[in-house]
Structure 1
Amino acid sequence: MAQLTCSSCGLAAEDDDLVCRGCSGNLSRAVGTRYPLPGPPPHLPEAGEEAPEVCPHCGAPVPVPGNQVCVACQRLLAEVRPPGTERSGERAPDPGSTRRDVPSALLRIRFGAVERTVTPGSTLLLGRDPAAHTTRGLLNPYDNVSRQHATVGLEPDGTAWVRDEHSTNGTFVNSSPAAAGARTPLRDGDVLRLAADCTLGIAVEQRGEGGRP
């Protein structure tokens, strides 16, 4: 019977040992070889010979260069492949393609303690209509707010605006009426009022490189 050895420190163990006497590692599972596939270990490359690809998880050789899953441990080979170890003809992933893009600006609409945000190129409908699903529940207590009262938006360049959607009781920016159907600029710190008593706070957050304010 083959001598049982600890997979952590390599110390020889008795058949009935459950833990290693040297490092207290768990010996309850049989210790496999580095290459669990049948047959001898893979050929070691000579000088100038390209090294064969091995699984980054268990060290088993990859018999076919195009394999996506290790034949020994069944884990994806690309999970922990370090930069510079791509297969021949394979492009390394662009770091920018995996990074979540951070908006260069942000428009915040505050309803008391509740806040809604608008990202560049997006709009938000304010009203009690079911189409205004993100604000309908907040504005339902205001009977004088129209079902589709106004729309706020943020341009890709960070310019914020509000457009009155021909509401019954009007839209106001810092107490000045906003023309129906036209965009009225919004600036950081403005107070947006719908009808007589629905007051919303405006914050326009311009961000620098890396998404930081």
Structure 2
Amino acid sequence: MNTLPFPPAPEPGWYADDFSATESAEDTEDTDAIESWDGTVLASSFTIRQPRTTYLLHNDATGQSITIDRSALLGRKPSETIPEGAKSITVEDPTHTISRNHAAISVDTDGQLWIEDYGSLNGTFIIRDGKESQVAGTPAKLDAPTMLRLGDQFLELTAQQN
């Protein structure tokens, strides 16, 4: 299997808003310098194809619906510096279990969707037939309909009719 061309995820704690339970954002030093550089660099091949179908990610708990019509970086505060043709999507997370740059959904040359965990602290999971499998180390094929879990947020992936 060919791996998708994503750079490694940044280490936890790199960003000013990735603080431990014992400190707050105000306690971190040089917050402005850290926030001005988000550190995520995605390869241009991240945007290699647009899906033939538009997909919808829906979170019943928050009511958020996300349209997946191209490659996307998902997170609670995802990087804005991504290649042209891709998009960054903020996933609503009232429980604070989604990482800043949590996961990436991309499309390969055959139009197949893939998901890759981006080094998140609380993991990315695909739930099929009531069984949960963690996405770790390598990208995982993503077929609709299916359920995703980012941190403790459940998002249902469905194909939309064009």
Q: What range describes the TM-score normalised by the shorter chain of this pair?
A: 0.5 to 0.7
Verify: 1:188 aligned to 2:136, yes or no. Answer: no
Aligned equivalent of 2:119, options 166, 172, 188? 166
2:100 to 147, 157, 174: 147
Task: Write the letter of the residue equivalent to 1:149.
Answer: H
The alignment covers a number of residue pairs equal to 101
Q: Does 2:154 match 1:204?
A: no
Contact 2:64–2:92 under 8 Å retained in 1? no
- Whether contact under 8 Å (1:108, 1:115) holds in the other structure is yes
- Note if contact 1:163-1:179 (Cα within 8 Å) is conserved in structure 2: yes
Q: TM-score, normalised by structure 2?
A: 0.53
Q: Could you tell me the percent identity over the aligned residues?
A: 29
Q: Which runs of 5+ in 1 are unaligned?
A: 1-102
Task: Select the residue among 64, 75, 80 that pairs with 1:127.
Answer: 75
**How do 1:1-213 residues align onto structure 2 when only pairs under 5 Å count?**
104-112=52-60, 113-119=63-69, 122-131=70-79, 135-136=89-90, 138-155=91-108, 157-174=110-127, 175-180=132-137, 182-195=138-151, 197-205=152-160
- TM-score of the two chains, using structure 1 as the length reference: 0.41
Contact 1:106/1:158, CA 8 A, preserved across alignment: no
- C-alpha root-mean-square deviation of aligned residues, in Å? 2.6
Larger radius of gyration: 1
Which ranges in structure 2 are unaligned for 5 or more consecutive residues?
A: 1-50, 81-86
Whether the 8 Å contact between 2:148 and 2:156 is mirrored in structure 1 is yes
C-alpha contact (below 8 Å) 2:59/2:156 kept by paired residues: yes
Whole-angstrom distance in 2 between the partners of 1:171 and 1:109: 14
SS at structure 1 position matched to 2:156 = strand
Deviation digits for residues 94-125 of structure 1, max 9, x if unmatched?
Answer: xxxxxxxxx73122211223322222xx3111
Contact 1:171/1:194 (CA < 8 Å) preserved in 2?
A: yes
- Listed one character per residue, the Cα deviations across residues 145-164 of structure 1 (whole Å, up to 9, x for unaligned) are 11111111234533111100
Conservation of the 8 A alpha-carbon contact between 2:78 and 2:89: no
